[in-house]
Amino acid sequence: MADVDRRRIESAVTELLLAIGEDPGRDGLESTPQRVAEAYAEFFGGVGADPLEHLRETIPTGSPDAVGQLTGETVIVRDIAFRSVCEHHLLPFVGVAHIAYIPGDAVVGLGRLPRVVDTLASRPQVQERLTEQIAGAIDEGLAPRGVLVVLDASHQCVTTRGARQTASSTVTVASRGDLRSGSARSDVIALIGAGVQGRS
């Protein structure tokens, strides 16, 4: 968890409760400042963390350990669940990430990609930037021939306030290299979409 200042968070939450006219000492609220501090330590555990740490150990695409001795086939990991916190209202947004990359000289263990997503999502964010940061980290950490990242998320700042569009979600896309355009990009997007449609 992040090295946050829990005491300051607790004091801020107490002040917030007072500001809305509540009694922070009443039953049900007396432990709320501590609970919020613990939650914030989890929500913002990625602040200051380096997502590239998860991509340090790679497997050369031509080695026996690389299944099928990969020579440029696309790797797609769909439905990586994530949660983040919108920096505008400090309300959560939750969804799934789909990551595709065309390997260059190396691949990475599939479990590493969700860790990259979680590290970057665990900080105050906007979805558009988060999508770009995930694509950028994979591009920098693996030097692939192409990267495509799609995020599909529901934002509480949209579903629970303002317009209250409870059924809406936001889709963002970021790409690099050979997956910026062309048939390879279309094929990857179709494969991601087929997985989504198959569960609906």
Angle at 22 between CA 16 and CA 26, to 5 degrees: 115
Asked which of 62-71, 134-143, 151-160, 161-170 is least confident by mean pLDDT, the reply is 62-71
Closest CA to 145 of 80, 72, 50: 72
Considering the chain, what is the average pLDDT of its residues? 92
Residues 66 and 21 in one domain: no
Q: Is 88 annotated in the active site?
A: yes
Residue range(s) defining the domain that contains residue 115: 53-199
Residues 118 and 22 in one domain: no
- What are the CA-CA distances from residue 101 to residues 70, 128, 130, 147 (Å)? 12, 19, 17, 4
Domain total of the chain: 2
So what's the pLDDT on residue 196?
Answer: 59
Q: Is 155 annotated in the active site?
A: yes
Is 183 marked as a binding-site residue?
no
So what's the pLDDT on residue 28?
Answer: 96
Q: How confident is the model at residue 114 (pLDDT cuts 50, 70, 90)?
A: very high
CA–CA gap between residue 130 and residue 116 (Å, rounded): 11
So what's the pLDDT on residue 62?
Answer: 73
Catalytic residue among 57, 69, 73, 88: 88
Q: Is 157 annotated in the active site?
A: yes
Q: Is 15 annotated in the active site?
A: no
Q: Is 89 annotated in the active site?
A: yes
So what's the pLDDT on residue 3?
Answer: 80
Q: How confident is the model at residue 2 (pLDDT cuts 50, 70, 90)?
A: low
Residues 74 and 139 in one domain: yes
Sign of CA dihedral 200, 130, 87, 11: positive
**Strands, E assignment, the chain:** 58-60, 75-86, 92-102, 106-108, 124-125, 146-155, 170-177
Residue 48 covered by a domain = no
Residues 85 and 171 in one domain: yes
Question: Per-residue pLDDT tens for 176-199?
Answer: 999 999 999 999 999 998 765 555
- What are the CA-CA distances from residue 199 to residues 101, 193, 194 (Å)? 23, 10, 9
Residue 1 covered by a domain = no
Question: Per-residue pLDDT tens for 51-85?
Answer: 999 999 999 887 665 555 555 689 999 999 999 99
Residues 88 and 115 in one domain: yes
Is 86 marked as a binding-site residue?
yes
Residues 102 and 189 in one domain: yes
Residues 76 and 159 in one domain: yes
Catalytic residue among 98, 125, 132, 155: 155
Catalytic residue among 87, 128, 140, 165: 87
Closest CA to 109 of 137, 67, 50: 67
Q: Is 87 annotated in the active site?
A: yes
